[in-house]
Chain A
Amino acid sequence: DIQMTQSPSTLSASVGDRVTITCRASQSISSWLAWYQQKPGKAPKFLIYKASSLESGVPSRFSGSGSGTEFTLTISSLQPDDFATYYCLQYNSYPWTFGQGTKVEVK
């Protein structure tokens, strides 16, 4: 199975900060990686697919990059609505696997 390792587990930041979250795969997944945002008590929200493609309706301050085994999610200027937990998902091969999550909290 492909293991996905996210870092950091928790990130403390302020509104306006540039935020970067990393996801590493235990083997190459090409670009078959998605990113999700989840708020407490809510279903995850789809942000990015194929490593760098922005889902329709997602603000342009979100961006993704990477291929192979290393990927990043960047929020260019953190907004109040962005404090949440973020997950990566590899969908290169079954069983699909999520990263353990990165909580973005108020500094």
Chain B
Amino acid sequence: EVQLVESGGGLVQPGGSLRLSCGVSTFTFSTYWMHWVRQAPGEGLVWVSGINSDGSYTSYADSVKGRFTISRDNAKNTLYLQMNSLRAEDTAVYYCVRDAARPGGLDVWGQGTTVTVSS
């Protein structure tokens, strides 16, 4: 079974930083684009960022551009999200998601890791 396991969430003060990780097993990580999607408490899903298979292309939602950085280490089968200058509105469950590549969409989701930004 394909598995994505996020880690690194927690409580952080406004203005602080956090790095999320997503470990991958049972599929060839280096051939897939990957994404982060978040969901604030009681709210809907929001796409945050995506990265291509070799890490040479990235894209971000306007709300996180300049503060968050997506990256990957294909040798370690791990996806990252470095989050800086965190704000209360970044509080959410963050999901690591595999991109099935066209024609598919986001096909495999991790269980999510919770980030809480509060003083």
Identify the A interface with B (CB < 8 A): 1, 31-34, 36, 38, 43-46, 49-50, 53, 55, 87, 89, 91, 94-101
Tell me the minimal C-beta distance from B61 to chain A in angstroms: 5
Q: Does A1 contact B111, Cβ atoms closer than 8 Å?
A: no
Q: Does B44 contact A87, Cβ atoms closer than 8 Å?
A: yes
What residues of chain B lie closer than 8 Å to A91, measured between beta carbons? 102, 105-106
The 10 A-B pairs with the shortest beta carbon distances in the complex, nearest first, are A34-B105, A43-B109, A50-B103, A96-B47, A94-B59, A98-B45, A101-B44, A49-B104, A49-B105, A46-B107
The 11 listed contacts between A and B (C-beta, < 8 Å) are A34-B105, A43-B109, A43-B112, A45-B109, A55-B104, A89-B47, A89-B105, A94-B59, A95-B59, A96-B35, A99-B44
What residues of chain A lie closer than 8 Å to B108, measured between beta carbons? 46
What residues of chain A lie closer than 8 Å to B9, measured between beta carbons? none
Q: Does A46 contact B47, Cβ atoms closer than 8 Å?
A: no
B contact residues, range: 20 to 34
In the complex, what distance in Å separates the CA atom of A45 from the CA atom of B110?
11
In the complex, what distance in Å separates the CA atom of A99 from the CA atom of B47?
11
Tell me the minimal C-beta distance from A20 to chain B in angstroms: 19
Tell me the minimal C-beta distance from B48 to chain A in angstroms: 9
Q: Does A96 contact B45, Cβ atoms closer than 8 Å?
A: no
In the complex, what distance in Å separates the CA atom of A32 from the CA atom of B100?
12
Q: Residue A53 contacts which of B59, B61, B95, B103 (CB distance < 8 angstroms)? A: B103
